[in-house]
Amino acid sequence: MAKQASNKITTSSTAEYFSKNLQQVGFSSQTKAILTTLKEAIDNALDACEEDGILPEVGVLIEKMGPGSLKNSDQIKIRVEDNGPGIDPDDVPKVFGEYLASSKFGRGRCSRGQQGIGISAATTWAQLTSATGARVITKTKTMRKAVACIVEVDIRHNKGVVKERETIDWNRPHGTTVEFLVDGRVQLNGEAGILNYLSGTALVNPHLTLHYKVPELEPHRIERVTQQMPEIPEAVEPHPHTMKLGEFIAHSHLFGRVKVNQWLKKGFSRIHEGVLSDLVKSGMSKGLLEKSVDSLGEVQFKDLFIALQNLKLMAPSTKSVLSIGEDGFAKSIKRLGAVDFFSVVSRKPAICDFKPVQVEVAVARLEDKSIESESAVQILRFANRVPLQFDKASCAIVHAIESVNWRSYGLVQPKNSIPQGPYIIAVSVVSPFIKFKNASKETVDGSEELVEEIRRALIQAGQKLSKHIRREVKANELEEKIRHIEQFCPILVEGLCRITEASAARKKKAEDGLVKILGRDAHITKQELDKAHAVLEAQKELIEENAEMKVGV
Amino acid sequence: MPSTDQTIPKLSKELCNRLLVDLERAKRPVLYATKCSLDNAIYSHKNGFLTPGSKKVATELNVSSVKKMSRAVFMLEILLRNIDTGAVNTKRELYYISKGEIKHNSSLRPLDFGDQDESDEIIDFICEMLECYREELNCYANDRGGQTYSQQLVVTETLPDGDKAVVDLSKLGTTPFQPKNRPQNLKLSARKKIDFCLIVESEGTANTLVANGFTKRHASILMGAQGVPSNAVRGWCKLIQDQLAVPLYFFGDLDAYTMQNIFRTLKAGSAASLIRNSDYSAPDVRFLGVLPEDIKKYDLNDYPVKENDAQEVRALKKAQDALKNDPFFHDKKNKGLTAILNWLLENKRRCEQQAFFTVDPRDPTMPEKIIVEKIKQGRFI
């Protein structure tokens, strides 16, 4: 008993928790640590630019500085600079040094970052491995000089601490540069490589100009392909059917002393007077709706929650989802490398599990045929426009790809597997309430409804693509037929004439006859080819018309 | 059916001329070949072998088939040259001859065969169009099976130059006579009356029987079939049946594979060789065993069909198909053989010919005694 009494129960800060569990937020290996740090910095840069309506220009530098303190590691400098609005100097320690300090938390928007964990975790990793925090330079457009400082996480108190702060001259109107010195290993190639991440980010952000310098490669610049900012939709309030009881009660704390009916109407989407009267009709006490939210007990919250779950409510609005757009996606996919042809599908926003979601798909055939035809196609997965690079096997996107019969569109596909060949299949899922399988946001957790929605988009893209493939097949057939005629006609006729000892005149006549016969076959194929070409042209025109109509609107 | 040496060249020229005339008129030529498959097989007890029905496979000249037709004409020219000079070749040799032709004439390169399967297919296509067998095109398979022993049989062979060679099998000791793939050139006679001809599925068991004195004790012809009978074995049995008029008995395993792949082919020919079954089947041959009743009578060691043996399971599946689709097993006269297939399917057991050695393991002539006893007592089907 005495021993038990001496074992005090202690509490630890959020920062303490995450500093001990960095593997949960993407720092589970040395290569992943580098990628996660880069990813968090770029996410923040892009979110900040979009919030302020600035076309983002992001620069990335990754440099090996020498051996790291961890076993078999290098010390790596990661610098990300953007032309965003800059950060108010007072907010700098919160942004880079405090966990769960976020301007985006629970707003119902499709921003890349949500909880405010990632960049603080990167600072913690730098602190733990290199004993130095994040070096930040930032300037807003109202500041004459930029602020430069080092931010560290006060792990005990979950606070950001600013060190070596100074003001400096900076030749930019506004923007932020953040630099980390971390231990890890740089993996450039492969599915989980940095280059894959950078090209994927460029793909789903057509408005982004990205330049980077990574070890062993020359500096590279990817220009933006559209001057159009993505339309940032209005945030929506949560829908009651997407919440759990705990979230429901926590949500009430954001409102303080307001009446229950006011809280329900203001704090949730799809609740209006009609719903409230339905609530009363279903047996809910009218008096309870008039009470102040902060006076409700747990039982009352539970009753109210259950009553709402039993009511039939309108599905949430789909206006809150953000779209890359077929036009932008189409232009952007060419930045991945030379492609023979591609198809892009932007589905209309839909409701899956009472959450608005928009699925967009691009399928492209690469010109580079050096890729083994038996190797699986390259899959690029995106959630809220952030590339997902790990744990592919359990991702809803991959399940949807496997469920489509790609053979009917002309691709090679082993049964219930990923198709094969020199293709890229890019799938973007955008939703303000996207569900990941883990905190490091590596895999989309898919319900049957979401998988079906992705599947439909893939089928549409496959159908469009098959028109290109069909045309190609027809063109090859025509070429083959013409080659056949040229090759075999003289051989066949000569052989027949030798056996029958036919005269030269008969031979000439037979040759002409054979060319005529086979020419008819080639003509039929040519007609089929023209038909396939016309279908493709009609499809292109339709896409262009749709794009013009959108611009007109 | 071609019969004289000049028939094939004549038929070939007619066929090529027909093609040429069509081409001159810019009319699409169509070639017809006999469909060699079970769904085009007809069996009547009168004939005793499977014959082709009326189904034909039409090959129309178009962009897709022009390559096949060009290759067929190219190969036909080689074969006609062989017939003209009397040269013979195997399919493999013809593959290399065609490669050599192409090597020396680059304009023929589009015809080049990737592997022997491709050239074999063309040779078979020519046979089906001309309704002949490849031996008539001087294309012979390796002589396999049919090693024959007898103290009474005399074979006279007419050689290509007209000379005659006489082989008295009684003078060969333990060396067997090896029949040729085209046994039609052989003439048979008997020094003394021959009582029967025994065809043993296993060549090894046939050797054992001879070594133990079978042919010394019985006025007979003893032959080892060596599994599925080759053209040589089939033609050789047909010759013995036609020229010597002795009863023929087949002794082999009791299983589905032996019944339909070995015995049925020997007796009535095969679906793949519909156009040559008349010369390559011996309808009088009887199935001596092993019979299902022999298992009980002689207490033979049999064993169940192994469920995990793909070959045995496939044979049973094929037996089911044969009962459904094979006209040979539909014929009332063959109901005894059909009953054996049904027994095999029902009991899923098999018994090997060598099981006769279990009856008296110390008497090496016991299988011979049982065989002769069965013949005498008429216990065969």
pLDDT in tens, B103-156: 999 889 999 999 999 999 999 999 988 888 888 898 988 778 899 999 999 999
Which are the contacts of B102, defined by CB distance < 8 A and separation ≥ 6?
Answer: B108, B109, B111, B112
Distance between A495 CA and the closest CA of chain B, angstroms: 6
Q: A514 to chain B: which residues are within 8 Å by CB?
A: 23, 26, 61, 66
CATH code, A326-466: 3.30.230.10
pLDDT score, position A137: 93
Most A CBs within 10 A among B63, B64, B70, B137, hence the mutation to make, goes to: B63
Distance between B74 CA and the closest CA of chain A, angstroms: 6
pLDDT score, position A449: 85
Is-contact B231 B275, C-beta < 8 A? no
pLDDT score, position A549: 52
pLDDT score, position A550: 46
Confirm or reject contact between B111 and chain A (CB < 8 A).
yes
- Tell me if B2 is assigned to some domain: no
Residue B67 class from Cβ within 10 Å (0-12 exposed, 13-18 middle, 19+ buried)? middle
DSSP code per residue over A317-357: PSTT-----HHHHHHHHGGGS-EEEEEEEEPPPEEETTEEE
Instruction: Indicate the pLDDT class of residue B374, thresholds 50, 70 and 90.
Output: very high
Q: What are phi and psi of B9, to 5 degrees?
A: -60, -40
CATH code, A240-310: 1.10.8
- Return the residue of B nearest to A482 by Cα: B63
Domain boundary among B107, B137, B167: B137
- Answer yes or no: do B311 and B363 share one domain: yes
Domain boundary among B105, B137, B169: B137
Q: Is the peptide bond before B290 cis (omega within 30 degrees of 0)?
A: yes
Confirm or reject contact between B357 and chain A (CB < 8 A).
no
Q: What are phi and psi of B323, to 5 degrees?
A: -60, -35
Cα–Cα dist A434/A322, whole Å: 12
Most A CBs within 10 A among B14, B17, B20, hence the mutation to make, goes to: B20
Most B CBs within 10 A among A497, A506, A517, hence the mutation to make, goes to: A517
DSSP state of B49: S
Which H/E stretch holds residue B197? strand B196-200
For the segment B231-252, the average pLDDT, to the nearest whole number, is: 94
CB neighbour burial string for A283-301, b if at least 16 within 10 angstroms, e if fewer: ebeeebbeeebeebeeeeb
User: Which has more pLDDT, B163 or B181?
Assistant: B163
pLDDT score, position A100: 57
Q: B27 to chain A: which residues are within 8 Å by CB?
A: 513, 517
pLDDT score, position A320: 66
Which of A108, A38, A43, A109 has the alpha carbon at shortest distance from A76?
A38
- Answer yes or no: do B154 and B129 share one domain: no
Is-contact A155 A149, C-beta < 8 A? no
For the segment B334-358, the average pLDDT, to the nearest whole number, is: 92
- Return the residue of B nearest to A499 by Cα: B13
pLDDT score, position A4: 46
Q: A504 to chain B: which residues are within 8 Å by CB?
A: none
- Answer yes or no: do B204 and B350 share one domain: yes
- Answer yes or no: do B255 and B365 share one domain: yes
Q: What are phi and psi of B141, to 5 degrees?
A: -85, 165
Is-contact A192 A31, C-beta < 8 A? yes
CB-closest option in A488, A492, A510 to B24? A510
How many structural domains are present in chain B?
2
CATH code, domain with B77: 1.10.10.10
Whether ipTM tops 0.90, in short, is: no
Cα–Cα dist B243/A420, whole Å: 64
Q: pLDDT of B279-316, one tens digit each?
A: 899 999 999 989 999 999 999 999 888 877 888 888 88
Is-contact B341 B324, C-beta < 8 A? no
- Answer yes or no: do B16 and B155 share one domain: no
pLDDT score, position B243: 94
Which of A487, A389, A192, A82 has the alpha carbon at shortest distance from B106?
A487
Most B CBs within 10 A among A486, A493, A500, A523, hence the mutation to make, goes to: A500
CB-closest option in A481, A491, A521 to B110? A491
Contact: B67, A484; criterion CB under 8 Å: yes
- Tell me if B202 is assigned to some domain: yes
Residue type, B323: L
Q: What is the CA radius of gyration of chain A?
A: 30
Q: B62 to chain A: which residues are within 8 Å by CB?
A: 517-518, 521
Contact: B69, A492; criterion CB under 8 Å: yes
Contact: A509, B80; criterion CB under 8 Å: no
Mean residue pLDDT of chain B comes to 90
pLDDT score, position B96: 96
Contact: B25, A513; criterion CB under 8 Å: yes
Q: pLDDT of A345-404, one tens digit each?
A: 888 888 777 778 889 998 988 877 666 667 888 888 888 888 888 877 888 899 999 999
Domain boundary among B137, B164, B186: B137
pLDDT score, position A8: 61
Instruction: Indicate the pLDDT class of residue B6, thresholds 50, 70 and 90.
Output: low
- Tell me if B1 is assigned to some domain: no
Q: What are phi and psi of A167, to 5 degrees?
A: -105, 140
- Return the residue of B nearest to A493 by Cα: B20
Q: Scan residues 21-60 of B and list those with Cβ closer than 8 Å to A.
A: 22-28
Q: Other C-beta atoms within 10 Å of B219: how many?
A: 17
- Answer yes or no: do B299 and B372 share one domain: yes
Strand ranges inside A44-174, DSSP E:
57-67, 74-82, 134-139, 146-154, 159-168
Examine the pLDDT at B19 and tell me if it is beyond 50.
yes
Q: pLDDT of B41-71, one tens digit each?
A: 999 989 899 999 999 888 888 877 889 999 9
Confirm or reject contact between B237 and chain A (CB < 8 A).
no
How many Cα atoms are found within 13 Å in the side-chain-facing hemisphere of B246? 24
Q: What percent of chain B has pLDDT above 90? A: 65
CATH code, domain with B372: 3.40.1360.10
- Answer yes or no: do B113 and B226 share one domain: no
Cα–Cα dist A233/A50, whole Å: 11
- Answer yes or no: do B63 and B86 share one domain: yes
List residues in chain A touching B: CB distance below 8 A: 480-481, 484-485, 487-493, 495-500, 502, 506, 509-514, 516-518, 521-522
Contact: A518, B62; criterion CB under 8 Å: yes
- Answer yes or no: do B154 and B286 share one domain: yes
CATH 3.30.565.10 fits A14-222, yes or no: yes
Range of the domain at B24: 7-137
Cα–Cα dist B282/B238, whole Å: 5
Q: Other C-beta atoms within 10 Å of A372: how many?
A: 10
Which of B139, B141, B80, B125 has the alpha carbon at shortest distance from B275?
B125
Which are the contacts of B209, defined by CB distance < 8 A and separation ≥ 6?
Answer: B198, B200, B222, B367, B368
Is-contact B215 B149, C-beta < 8 A? yes
Give me the residues of chain A with pLDDT under 70, please: 1-26, 99-117, 235, 318, 320-321, 369-373, 438-441, 525, 529, 532, 536, 538-553
- Tell me if B105 is assigned to some domain: yes
Q: Classify strands A423-430 and A355-366 as parallel, antiparallel or unpaired.
A: antiparallel
Residue B110 class from Cβ within 10 Å (0-12 exposed, 13-18 middle, 19+ buried)? middle
pLDDT score, position A536: 65
Alpha helices in B191-348 (DSSP H): 203-211, 214-217, 231-244, 256-257, 264-268, 292-297, 310-325, 327-330, 335-347
Which of A63, A94, A57 has the alpha carbon at shortest distance from A78?
A63
How many Cα atoms are found within 13 Å in the side-chain-facing hemisphere of A357? 24
- Tell me if B347 is assigned to some domain: yes
Which H/E stretch holds residue B198? strand B196-200
Tracing tokens 């399940």 back to the chain, one arrives at A399
Which are the contacts of A348, defined by CB distance < 8 A and separation ≥ 6?
Answer: A318, A358
Cα–Cα dist A132/A112, whole Å: 26
Most confident of A222-236, A353-367, B169-183, B318-332: B318-332
Contact: A517, B20; criterion CB under 8 Å: no
Per DSSP, the three-state class of A74 is: strand
- Answer yes or no: do B132 and B262 share one domain: no
Distance between A470 CA and the closest CA of chain B, angstroms: 19
- Answer yes or no: do B45 and B171 share one domain: no
Cα–Cα dist B53/B46, whole Å: 16
* pTM exceeds cut of 0.80: no
Residue B331 class from Cβ within 10 Å (0-12 exposed, 13-18 middle, 19+ buried)? middle
Q: pLDDT of A304-322, one tens digit each?
A: 888 888 888 877 776 766 7
Strand order in the sheet with B186-190: B164-168, B153-158, B186-190
Contact: B23, A513; criterion CB under 8 Å: yes
